[in-house]
Amino acid sequence: MPTTVTNGIRVSVKVRFAEEASDPKLGRFLFAYRITIANEGQRTVQLLRRRWTIWDSLGPVRQVEGPGVVGETPVLAPGGQFTYTSQCDLRSGLGRMVGTYTMWDKDSGERFAVDVPEFDLHYPFLAN
């Protein structure tokens, strides 16, 4: 499971190919990913924004940016965590994603970036 720790914030990713929502014959490959964000630091933080870079072997590189994640801007006290599931569609069965979260330290008012580890998106039959 890809994991990074930045400024006391651990981000872990688990990916699965969403076969039930995909149609490889039509070039529709949907991948679901579950991300857990854990505050291992000593300060209370809030996730404000996300930024993704998405590579698709048959499509252009995409940049996705916006407020929060899945409509939420979670607050994480020391020891707290937040888990969410989202998805990414590709035209091919091979791609990858990497990103950053913009976090806000509620005590100091400082904003800082947290790395989301790069993770692969691959159609299971391509791995054989």
The stretch 76-100 carries a mean pLDDT of 97
pTM of the model: 0.92
Q: How far apart are CA 47 and CA 74, in angstroms?
A: 6
How do residues 10-63 score in pLDDT, each as one tens digit?
999 999 999 999 999 999 999 999 999 999 999 999 999 999 999 999 989 999
- Hey, which CATH number is domain 3-127, 3.30.1490.20, 1.10.274.30, 2.40.170.20, 2.60.40.1470? 2.60.40.1470
pLDDT at residue 106, rounded to an integer: 92
Q: Where are the beta strands (DSSP E) in 8-76?
A: 9-17, 29-39, 45-56, 59-67, 75-76
pLDDT at residue 59, rounded to an integer: 85
